[in-house]
Amino acid sequence: MDFLKSIAIAASGLRAQSGRMRVIAENIANADSTAATPGGEPYRRKIATFKSEIDKALEAPVVALGPVRTDPSEFRTKHEPGHPNADQNGNVKYPNVNGLVEMTDMREAQRSYEANINVISASRRMIQRTIEILKS
């Protein structure tokens, strides 16, 4: 495979994983938020998806961040009658964000990001070594 193609493919993976990490960070940041109005719906967890594309300039498949979807699971509720956003029964809805799941997803995205960086670094080293061989 062409070294520049491998770098471009890995770079597309970096961009996709970076977008995924932004979505996860947004979920973590809103994990304990409540609805703007009493009885309203709080933040709903978002899920990043990926899509495969063809880079016409490279004539190679690349990955991109796909549509960001919302998680349809139920909200967490807590009985807090004194809370300003409590409904008529005294229950407050909290986002359907599980911190453990988000941290696990973040770690997976981080490892994928690091793997793509390793591909780019290895390709650069191979290019440099090839140039050194051609000079001698």
Q: What is the pLDDT of residues 104-126, one digit of tens each?
A: 999 999 999 999 999 999 999 99
The per-residue pLDDT for 136 is 84
- Residues 55, 106: contact at Cβ < 8 Å? no
Q: How far is CA 30 from the centre of its chain?
A: 15
36-58: b or e for each residue (b if 16 or more CB lie within 10 Å)? eeeeeebbebbebeeeeeeeeee
What lies within 8 Å, CB to CB, of 2 at 6+ separation is none
Single pTM value for the model: 0.87
The per-residue pLDDT for 1 is 54
- Average pLDDT of every residue of the chain: 93
The per-residue pLDDT for 3 is 85
Q: What is the pLDDT of residues 55-99, one digit of tens each?
A: 888 888 999 999 999 999 999 999 999 888 888 888 899 999 999
| Distance (Å, whole) CA 116 – CA 100 | 25
93 three-state secondary structure: strand
Q: How far is CA 118 from the centre of its chain?
A: 19
The per-residue pLDDT for 37 is 77
- Residues 65, 72: contact at Cβ < 8 Å? no
Burial (Cβ within 10 Å: 0-12, 13-18, ≥19) of residue 71: middle
- Residues 40, 85: contact at Cβ < 8 Å? yes
Domain boundaries in the chain?
3-135
